[in-house]
Structure formats: C-alpha cells, structure tokens
Amino acid sequence: MREVAIVGLGQTPVREHWESNLRDLAVTALRDAMEDAGVDTVDGVCVGNMLSGALSEQEHLGSLIVDYAGLDGVEGMKIEAACGSGAAAIRMAVKAVSSGLMDAVGVVGVEKLTEYSGKYSTAALATAADADYETTMGLSFVGINALLMRRYLYEYKLQKEDFSIFPVNAHKNAVHNPNAMFRHAITNEQYAKSKLIADPINLLDSSPIADGAAAVIVVAKENISRYKGKAVDILACEVGTDTLAIDNREDPLWLRGVERSAKKAYYVSGLSPKDINIFEAHDAFSIITALSLEASGFTEKGNAIKFAERANIGINGTFPMNTSGGLKGRGHPVGATGVYQVVEAAQQLRGTVASPIQVENNKIAMAQNIGGSGATVITTILKQI
Amino acid sequence: MDIPRYWRLKNQRYRLQGKKCLDCGNLSFPPRLVCRKCKSRNCEPYEFKGMGTLYSYTTIFQAPDRFDQMAPYMVGLIDLEEGVRITAQLTDVLPDDVQIGMKLEMVIRQIYEDGPKGPILYGYKFRPVLKF
C-alpha cells in the first residue's frame, strides 16, 4: 500500500448560493483544487453528495461534474453517506491511490440545500435516519439529536447553557474565515435566549442549511514533487459504522461509530489522542461535538464540557477546535462538509489561514465527519510535511 | 404517498411485531432477518406488549413538511419491558408533565393525514399509563 497526500485544495464560500447551480459549485471547487495542485487532469473523480436527487432532481453527479469540469471521459462517481458523504468520498480516493490503481484523484464534496424552503430540506435531511421507524414517526434530524441531548443533560446533571462553549467558539473563529457563512460572534446570553428547534436544541446549537463545494486532490506521497501545491500527509482516513437508528444502540450516548473510526485512525497513524494539535469536530449540533470528544478518546464519558473548558478550545488554547468556524460557523452543506473540514485542516498545516485563526506549532490535525447521528463516521488525520 | 410502506408495516404499526431469535432468544424491534446477537437467520415474529418507560424525549417545533401542521408535538425513546428501545410520538400528555423514567403504554393513533382527500395513516404512539 502506498502512502497518500493532498496536493490541491479548493472551496467556494458557504452561502445560500441562489445564483449558482450544483454543477457550477462543484466545478469551481474542483478546478480550484486542480489549479492549486498544478494539474490539468486526474485519473478519477469522487463526488461526495447527499441530496442532489431529493432537492435538485439531479442524480448521476459523477459524469455530470466530470463533463462540466472539462475532464471528458474521466471516471467519476457519487459517494453517499448522509452528512458523512464528503469524507467518505475522500476515503474512496485514498483507497484508489494507496492501492496503486490511480495516481491522482479529485474529490469534490458538493451540496445545494436551498432550492426549496426549509421544511422540505428538513424532510430531506431526515432521510439520513431510519425511514421506516424513525422519520415516519415525525422525528426530524434535529429531533434525533435533541433526544440525545436531553438524555445527556439528565445523566450528567448539566444545564443546557453549559453547551454554549461549542457554538460560541465556532462563531468566534468563523469571523476570520472568508468562506464562512456566519462571520459574527455570538454570546452566552444570545445562546440562552435562542429559539427552540427541537427542545432542548435551539437555533444556536444547530449548524445552518447552506450551499457549497470543497475539493482536494489526493496523490501518492512518493510523487508529490510532481505537483505545484504544498503537500499535506494523509496519515489516516478511516471509517467506523453503527446502527442507523439511535434506539437500536445499547447506549445512545456512546457513539460506537466514532469510537471505531477514531481507534482505526489512531492505529493506522501510530498516534494517540494526545498527539492531535487541532481537532475539526462535526459540530452539526452541540451535543454531537460533546459525544465525539468522548468517543474519540479525548476525554472520558460525560466529561466533554469540563474537558473543553479546561483544555481551552480557542485558537491559543491547548486544544484548538473548529478553527475555521466548524459546521456551526462555516455552515453545513451536508455532502460537502467532510471535504471542507479536511481543506481547512490542510490550510492550517500549510499555514495559510488568516492570522487570527492560525494555530502556531501545529503539526497534526484531525477532522471527523459524521453521517447521520453517528452511523457512518470518517476520521482523517493529516500531518505537516 | 407511501401506501405500500404502510401496508407492509401494518404488523409493526398496529401490533408492535418484531422478531425473536429461535437460537439465542434475542428480541428485536424493528424485525431483522439476521439476529444481531448470534447472527442466526432462524427467527420468528414476536409481539411486544407495548408497556415501557421513557428514556428520552423532545418537543419538535420545526417539523418535516409532512408533519408541519401538527407541530409542536413530542417524540420519545421508550424502553419496552422486554428490553428493547423504540422511537414513537408521545400523546395524551402535556410537555410539562413528561419526565424521563415515566411509565408509558402503547396506543393506536393517527400518525398523519395525507392532505384533505388522502388516506389517514395510523400507528403506535405512547401515552402515560392510565391509573384507575
């Protein structure tokens, strides 16, 4: 098996892109990444996307994007794993390159969630859950996370306000990310007064519906001198799975998909949680950030908030998290999110983000992309070269 | 409209029918073709009694389009007496009276109406156990 690296990065701003369609967003990010890498073609394209069929009446994204990107005849396919689609597409590219089947693979995560009004997007997003037994009961995707948060508050005797540490940090960092959707800070008081979406989850616990595309070029590490872009090592990109429905999990507050994915990633990279300098968590909802910190081994069960307070998750803290704003601040174009996370982590290691959010002395970054409420989890560990 | 789905799921929606593994005795809901515990395919239908306790709950304010008209409504995770957890709407109770650990029983209620001329679909919900 060959070692793999990223040599090109591309991303569109995360916005309500009413003026752009799905293919133009994808092509912009992909061609930007190819330009960064200094390549005019690739051996294959992996497209991460969840809802093009449901919300844009468009499937068959692989060949569509390959064609519009000017890559006539190149192999391209869509990879779908709900909100984990983006990193799942990176995983497929890593497999293709490390096996020796391909030398350079373009990965583009793209999502367009604003074609319809919110309630349709809400219904479409709920297809990440069990259609026969969760969503047809009227459970929204936010509702599933609310069930987890309520139980977490109950078991660990916490106040809802304790969770504000995560969105407040995400928004603070997003201010300095030009591609972020919300470039404004929020306060604990605003969090406390925020509108309920599914009790106890409020608006400021929830990442926003958005459009966007992000791309990376994955190549064999032995060939990085052929490319223009500054290379970043992919030490691990590992998948863990769990039941789709949270009611089928023995302990819903322990995300086994996260544990499996993170443990594999630590094993493959030869690292442990204490080696990670930056963590890009999947903060689709504040509760998921907490459960992810615990099952990834950064802290023990039930201790995520205390850990975040003690470690200091800010840029100058000992454990900087969601340095470009995370899903909460940057926005959550679901099938693109996993690629945005890896692009942002790679930018951190290249040292190219805006100075207020550039973490000094960072060599190792971890990004974790979570599909559904933890049924597909992809943990990627990157290293500075 | 997903009439075939509702027809197909009638034994689950109306009778809480899951599966019992004939090799290891493990119970499952929803029904599965392969036992989660021993991986046997030797399973038979098993009806749950519909009595349980509340593990967690939420009030949905922003609902998927099909349920939009009903919001706000409550959904819970219920631990059935037989040791299986399921997801269902809570009914006949106000949000302030709901607590984790409360005793619940299954009832059949309307799940949603598919527009003024569409069929009305029914299924299980859970309410606090009635005291006599």
One domain, residues B11 and B76: no
Write the CATH number for B56.
Answer: 2.40.50.840
At residue A204, the pLDDT reads: 98
One domain, residues B83 and B131: yes
At residue B112, the pLDDT reads: 86
One domain, residues B61 and B86: yes
* Structural domain total, chain B: 2
One domain, residues B43 and B53: no
Of A122, A132, A247, the CB nearest to B85: A247
Q: Does B63 touch chain A (CB under 8 A)?
A: yes
CA–CA separation, B121 vs B110, rounded Å?
Answer: 6
Q: Is A237 an annotated catalytic residue?
A: no
One domain, residues B79 and B20: no
- Cβ neighbours of A137 in B, within 8 Å: 75, 87-89, 111, 123
Residue-wise pLDDT for A245-304, tens only, equals 999 999 999 999 999 999 999 999 999 999 999 999 999 999 999 999 999 999 999 999
Nearest CA distance, B130 vs chain A (angstrom):
23
Burial A288-301 (b: 16+ CB within 10 A, else e): bbbbbbbbbbbbee
- Evaluate if residue B119 carries a pLDDT over 90: no
Domain boundaries, chain A: 4-117+209-233, 118-208+235-384
Chain A window 197-216: which residues touch B at a Cβ cutoff of 8 Å?
Answer: 197-201
For A222, the 3-state DSSP assignment is helix
Q: Is A83 an annotated catalytic residue?
A: yes
Put simply, the answer to whether B75 touches A133 (Cβ < 8 Å) is: no
At residue A256, the pLDDT reads: 98
**Amino acid code (one letter) for A198:** A
At residue B1, the pLDDT reads: 55
The active-site residue, picked from A83, A171, A176, A237, is: A83
One domain, residues B110 and B70: yes
Give the confidence band of B114 by pLDDT, cuts at 50, 70, 90.
confident
User: Which portions of chain A are predicted below pLDDT 50?
Assistant: none
- Evaluate if residue B54 carries a pLDDT over 60: yes
Q: Does A306 touch chain B (CB under 8 A)?
A: no
At residue B132, the pLDDT reads: 65
At residue A30, the pLDDT reads: 98
CATH homologous superfamily of A4-117+209-233: Thiolase/Chalcone synthase (3.40.47.10)
Fold of A118-208+235-384: Peroxisomal Thiolase; Chain A, domain 1 (3.40.47)
Nearest CA distance, A245 vs chain B (angstrom):
9
One domain, residues B35 and B72: no
When scoring B61, B100, B102 by the number of chain A Cβ atoms within 10 A, the one with the most, hence best to mutate, is: B61
Of B2, B68, B88, the CB nearest to A137: B88
**Amino acid code (one letter) for B106:** M
One domain, residues B87 and B119: yes
Residue-wise pLDDT for B70-94, tens only, equals 999 999 999 999 999 999 999 999 9
> What is the SS3 string spanning chain B?
CCHHHHHHCHHHHHHCEEEEECCCCCEECCCCCCCCCCCCCCEEEEECCCEEEEEEEEEECCCCHHHHHHCCEEEEEEEECCCCEEEEEECCCCHHHCCCCCEEEEEEEEEEECCCCCCEEEEEEEEECCCC
One domain, residues B81 and B132: yes
Sole residue written with tokens 């389009």 = B65
- Cβ neighbours of A142 in B, within 8 Å: 60, 62
Put simply, the answer to whether A147 touches B58 (Cβ < 8 Å) is: yes
Put simply, the answer to whether B55 touches A151 (Cβ < 8 Å) is: yes
Of B9, B58, B95, the CB nearest to A146: B58
One domain, residues B28 and B77: no
One domain, residues B93 and B126: yes
For A270, the 3-state DSSP assignment is coil
Count of CB pairs separated by less than 8 Å, A with B: 106
CA–CA separation, B29 vs A214, rounded Å?
Answer: 39
Put simply, the answer to whether B87 touches A139 (Cβ < 8 Å) is: yes
Put simply, the answer to whether B87 touches A247 (Cβ < 8 Å) is: yes
Q: Do domains A4-117+209-233 and A118-208+235-384 have the same CATH topology?
A: yes
State mean pLDDT over B30-58.
97
Of A134, A142, A199, the CB nearest to B87: A134
- Cβ neighbours of A147 in B, within 8 Å: 56-58, 75-77
Q: Does A133 touch chain B (CB under 8 A)?
A: yes
One domain, residues B41 and B102: no
On whether ipTM exceeds 0.90, the answer is yes
Q: Which residue in A2, A144, A210, A185 sits closest to B57, CA to CA?
A: A144
- Cβ neighbours of B63 in A, within 8 Å: 119, 122, 138, 140
Name the residue range of residue B77's domain.
49-132
Q: Does A287 touch chain B (CB under 8 A)?
A: no
